[in-house]
Structure 1
């Protein structure tokens, strides 16, 4: 009968309290006896320390250590039972404590590649300890058992890794679906102006609400663009804007809503390079729960003006957005104010932009020329030509004219 040496395993230290469930321990003692069960508990402590030392993401305090130890201990007991009974590897041999520990790693955000690395390290450690025990046996036992134990143990390792990967992916999908749904409900309540419990909302979102916010929307051109690509770019935008953290919510198959915290109410105008295939709409900076909503509404307004552009800030279209309740009336208003200057050709667009900048510069040809990178004489010529198309000199009250210029400018962009 193989594995006659295994019942002789004994713990060498002062002993450790078991971490596995009472049912797991009872079954192990029934199958293996007290000696091998104590050896497994002691070995699992050392293996847990080795895994955390080599993969620090597994650690982080007493609770993560004990959770991992419970998983490792139950796996060692299952492996010893399989070796003793000469059982062939199967997914059912992976104990429930290991699966539960796997779920904890998902919830803590430990990546799958690190989880599987920990599994490999654990099995290598167990193999080392078992080979040490077999080396103390007579030569005929060493020869036969070294080969048998190595073959079975590494088969267990393959089955264990496969089961853990399957369970990890399934749990990650469940976890993301549940947390994403809860986060979306809270965001939807805030955006809709419904009352929320701020502390509960912050805990669920993992995002501080009592501060300044900058909201933005990342939109993909293609519906099958991976959501991770959108979220990754949202993180890049937050960093470029000097934001503190980032909250993202999947709002649809091709767009992500995002918020980042700000130390003050001032906007950060850092350049953001929007990659091909994505578009970015940015809201204004605003404070608190109301500001969270206000900035998002502004970003959504800007999203409606993206058109062929890859980047649109609310600050660029806020005047136009006030008039967007009636697109047709806004267009009529602009046409009435601008006359022949409202045409769609490139030359009249250039004249309108020069006039818009000239008026924003306080009617200073010098400042307008600097802003447009042309001479003041060129500005003067264009303004004269614009007045001819308007059919009259520039009025003293410029409000309606400037509104009309803004409507046409942003309408052309949207078109």
Structure 2
């Protein structure tokens, strides 16, 4: 029993001297441990201070309480590891700094043991237990520092690689000369660009490879706002992308958009621009998968939504509220023109009798006039009507993507 009492007495006395211990550790670190430039890093200095204070409390608690769990490392120590990795401080320096803190702490424990436990045998017994517990704690903390350093180094290296990749892509798509070695992707040959949101671009790339049934090495990049960009090297012997990938599915809430297959560096840029525009259309219409070749007209309309809205209203206004999904005249005409003005096929698509379609067509003609109904502009307005209705009334245009620029053709 006297050992546990002695340990509590020892740690309580040592805890009273934490400000003094802290200053001594900081002095030793400045003199022995800091790499050049580290003391001038305010963020690193702050993290180091927090670590010292937290570690002192942690180790004294573990020495005094035999039932306390063996602490791997405090949150502050792990934060210091993250900051140190970013500041370029090596693992050797981190472990050396940790050992300095442990050495200084033990010196103060010894000092307090000789001051507060006068009996030689009792003091020796208490110090043996205190030493065993402190060294067990030290081992656990050192192991945690090594593991955290390895994890943070790998993560930071990956982040640094992604930052270099994104910077290269920004320059490349803007038409600037840049070394593209970091991309590990050939700009020769044919490219199919894609943009994905709401899903992992890496998983989409794998799904594309599975659908193609061949080993592809697409270029994949992610932006801080969660957008994913892909470029697939499209084999010349392959068919059209819609035929090869038309059966792809994406997660609920995700949007995937494709450009068209284009050649060389300029094709790399063009296909990305197309995918970006198709993605804007797909999000507006709530489409999980969008192909630029199917939505190029809608993409053009998004460049001036006010003009597109005015055009659609002028063309379709005699048919009633264009934003009303139950407007059967507009919906019937849209399906009619989409299906090559085939009334029978239109009836099948709408699941109504052909005479119903004929009646609606005559009703629309009476409101518009036969000549207006046959104008190409009217068919375009019908196609754009769904997009215009999906946009907010005060829409200022498609949201621009801050991750990568969209170069002009």
Name 1:208's counterpart in structure 2: 186
Name 1:331's counterpart in structure 2: 309
> Aligned pair 1:355/2:355, yes or no?
no
Compared CA separation, residues 329 and 234, structure 1 to 2 (3 A): same
Name 2:232's counterpart in structure 1: 260
> Aligned pair 1:173/2:147, yes or no?
no
1:234 deviates by 2.5
Alignment equivalent of 2:247, drawn from 247, 271, 281: 271
Residues 1-400 of structure 1 aligned to structure 2 (within 5 Å): 162=144, 165-196=147-178, 200-201=179-180, 203-220=181-198, 230-239=200-209, 242=212, 244-264=216-236, 266-268=240-242, 269-305=245-281, 306-307=283-284, 309-311=286-288, 312-341=290-319, 343-348=322-327, 350-370=328-348, 374-389=352-367, 391-395=368-372, 398-400=375-377
Task: Please state whether the residue corresponding to 1:284 is helix, strand or coil.
Answer: coil
Distance across 1 between alignment mates of 2:355 and 2:220:
50
Task: Please state whether the residue corresponding to 1:343 is helix, strand or coil.
Answer: coil
1:261 deviates by 2.2
Distance across 1 between alignment mates of 2:249 and 2:309:
32
Please give the per-residue CA displacement for 1:99-152, whole angstroms capped at 9, x wherever unaligned.
xxxxxxxxxxxxxxxxxxxxxxxxxxxxxxxxxxxxxxxxxxxxxxxxxxxxxx
Maintained 8 Å contact 1:317/1:410: no
Name 1:142's counterpart in structure 2: none
Distance across 2 between alignment mates of 1:290 and 1:370:
44
Q: Please tell me the root mean square deviation across aligned C-alpha atoms, in Å.
A: 3.5
Distance across 1 between alignment mates of 2:313 and 2:341:
23
1:302 deviates by 2.1
Please give the per-residue CA displacement for 1:187-208, whole angstroms capped at 9, x wherever unaligned.
1123223344xxx42x321223
Higher relative CO (Cα under 8 Å, sequence separation at least 6) belongs to: 2
Distance across 1 between alignment mates of 2:143 and 2:246:
45
- Structure 2: segments with no counterpart, 5+ residues: 1-136, 393-409
- Structure 1: segments with no counterpart, 5+ residues: 1-154, 221-228
1:296 deviates by 1.3
Task: Please state whether the residue corresponding to 1:259 is helix, strand or coil.
Answer: strand
TM-score by length of structure 1 reads: 0.52
Compared CA separation, residues 260 and 291, structure 1 to 2 (3 A): same
Distance across 2 between alignment mates of 1:266 and 1:209:
20
Distance across 1 between alignment mates of 2:261 and 2:153:
37
Distance across 1 between alignment mates of 2:330 and 2:209:
36
Maintained 8 Å contact 2:217/2:233: yes
| Equivalent residues, number | 251
Distance across 1 between alignment mates of 2:360 and 2:335:
12
Distance across 2 between alignment mates of 1:375 and 1:157:
81
Distance across 1 between alignment mates of 2:191 and 2:268:
6
> Aligned pair 1:410/2:387, yes or no?
yes
Task: Please state whether the residue corresponding to 2:186 is helix, strand or coil.
Answer: coil
Distance across 2 between alignment mates of 1:158 and 1:339:
75
